Structure 1
């Protein structure tokens, strides 16, 4: 049976690294996980308790395609609490994780052959999902002086029907302030293009709060998820916020593509949104880990880094050490027992000389991982 051309996408390299790390652990090695953007903490206790109660008391069948009304209402309330935005719950669509949100948004907003501008480095699944849907990802090499974020000048000579940004970004953790985000939205709208804002790392910020695109315009598509701030990666619950005119289109697509997001995950997500004390305790760990990374990575010889504004990653330029980040990451895993992500996942052009380090795990793991990295580099005479 033949394979479709749509399925000919590149692998998600971090998942390959995870598999290699798993194999090493199966062989009895202790691996420090700095590769995957997965919190080391479980879903909030209130979320787990709510699901246990629901499993005992009710049938968890299909929900309506747009999601549980109570959850949509609570998500809308979050925008008032975090950003001062008065959001109509009718504009909220609950999705099977942010990945389901990407599929719905791309299907609703673009036709086959449409071109969508993306900044590189960036989350690799954007381009792979687009390719599988016969869209054209137009990757723009962002500049260090712009903190690896798109700026309107990057779009000036492009032909595009959409622009997608993430702030905080993956892999860099950098953020756009309100003026910078507004300038990008204005540039896209001036071209009649759709604007999509991936806000999955909102809530995980350090020096200043993140800005939602909804503070600037209602004519945008916002994608978010319970995976990161709410520590619910495997639960596959996310959401979209859409202009009113796009809702019925997305609803019809959701009905046919997914029926609904998992009912069990929606119940847990609703309870997680009021677990503020536990979630802020997680943030205290991220802050401590970030400080350790910003001190420890340069001591280990990875000194070409920019402090992340949000998320839980440090993106390092290692082009002075290698031009094959995939082989270098494998060497670090094999010899140091630390799993890190090659930059090729995020930037096909420059990623051979970059690595991403995640600090989402326990502080003890981060400290141990940094010491292993230091010893690895010391053995090569690269640090004293």
Structure 2
């Protein structure tokens, strides 16, 4: 008799991870002297943790600190430092007790979803979207409700979309800046959505992991400043270049503090102690983080100037994050096959849009520009030669 496979095992794949594996395999197969692979498939900064973060971790290890479990919500000093960040950056008073340090933002989402929703609940999000939002919801027995967004809505949800939903969903996930399009909600639009959600009993989850990486068209704002019921997700992976340290946080509304704490105690016990030590130090490494940000800004500007000449002339505004969301419908109707050929023939790894929008993603490709600056500068030339431009 065949054994049962649980519902959670049926969650769709996160295709960018398959692209990473294919790019790794292609890189290993290159002959000596052959041009290397330009990695534009993954949102992983090409730099490591800030020097001050690494030095804090080294010092703690040399001091012989035991590095055991912390409290489920993390080191009190790190939670206090994160709370201070909200006051300094946004003018928002957040209590350290509302901060939950998590195993990356990826570890924050299941905690938030389990605390806020029940099986069968509908949770809305704009499409295109970050795939694990929907995939984690499906694994937990919840129902993603996709709101098709496009260039006309800046690839973001609108208040009109939400007001048209009858009945309202149990929750809404927003991201500003968003992955994959890199677009942002203006503060007044974020405020209107947050207040609507609070008034309608819709739990708002605001993914703010790309804060610190915006390019001046729209100001950054936190949903916590506009709604006492919103859940905010953030991470040290992007602005602080600490992807592999697996450290993030939740800023929780008061009614979910204890429920999330109980879940964290049982599911993860705590985030890694050494990563928390490094993360706290990273928050004061402003000069180095801003230098990284300046590098991304240069790469963004160079790509926006050069990519149209390579055939990629239909792109989202790229307000923030480090992605270009390119409409390639004039080049292909199969972005998966297109990206496979791009890797094999041009040596450039990028992510097919079907990972982010299953209905319309066959005509989109996401390019990440957080890799080495010289690689980003070389990419348009390779693409131009590949497409015969």
Q: Kindly indicate whether the alpha-carbon contact (under 8 Å) linking 2:195 and 2:227 is maintained by their aligned counterparts in 1.
A: no
Q: Deviations over 1:163-189 (max 9, x none)?
A: 010000000111111111112112222
Matched, 1:98 2:105: yes
Runs of 4+ in 1 over 4 A off after TM superposition: none
Q: Output the TM-score relative to the length of structure 1.
A: 0.97
Partner of 1:113: 120
Shift of 1:192: 1.1
Partner of 1:124: 131
Partner of 1:31: 37
Partner of 2:7: 5
| In 2, Cα distance between equivalents of 1:140 and 1:7 | 25
Matched, 1:186 2:186: no
Q: Kindly indicate whether the alpha-carbon contact (under 8 Å) linking 2:195 and 2:226 is maintained by their aligned counterparts in 1.
A: no
| SS of the residue 1:150 aligns to | coil
Residue 337 (structure 1) aligned to one of 321, 335, 347 = 347
Q: What do you get for the CA RMSD once the two structures are aligned?
A: 1.0
Partner of 1:358: 368
Shift of 1:23: 0.3
Matched, 1:42 2:22: no
Residue 62 (structure 2) aligned to one of 43, 50, 56 = 56
Residue 168 (structure 1) aligned to one of 174, 177, 196 = 177
Matched residue pairs, number? 379
Shift of 1:276: 0.4
Residue 16 (structure 1) aligned to one of 18, 21, 38 = 18
| In 2, Cα distance between equivalents of 1:81 and 1:282 | 21
Shift of 1:237: 0.3
| In 1, Cα distance between equivalents of 2:299 and 2:219 | 19
| In 2, Cα distance between equivalents of 1:74 and 1:5 | 39
Q: Kindly indicate whether the alpha-carbon contact (under 8 Å) linking 2:151 and 2:316 is maintained by their aligned counterparts in 1.
A: no
Q: Kindly indicate whether the alpha-carbon contact (under 8 Å) linking 2:84 and 2:94 is maintained by their aligned counterparts in 1.
A: yes
Partner of 2:186: 177
Q: Deviations over 1:72-106 (max 9, x none)?
A: 00001111121111211111000000011101000
| In 2, Cα distance between equivalents of 1:286 and 1:143 | 25
Unaligned runs of 5+ in 1: none
| SS of the residue 1:260 aligns to | coil
Q: Deviations over 1:1-26 (max 9, x none)?
A: 33212211111111101000000111
Matches within 5 A, 1:294-373: 294-373=304-383
| SS of the residue 1:256 aligns to | helix
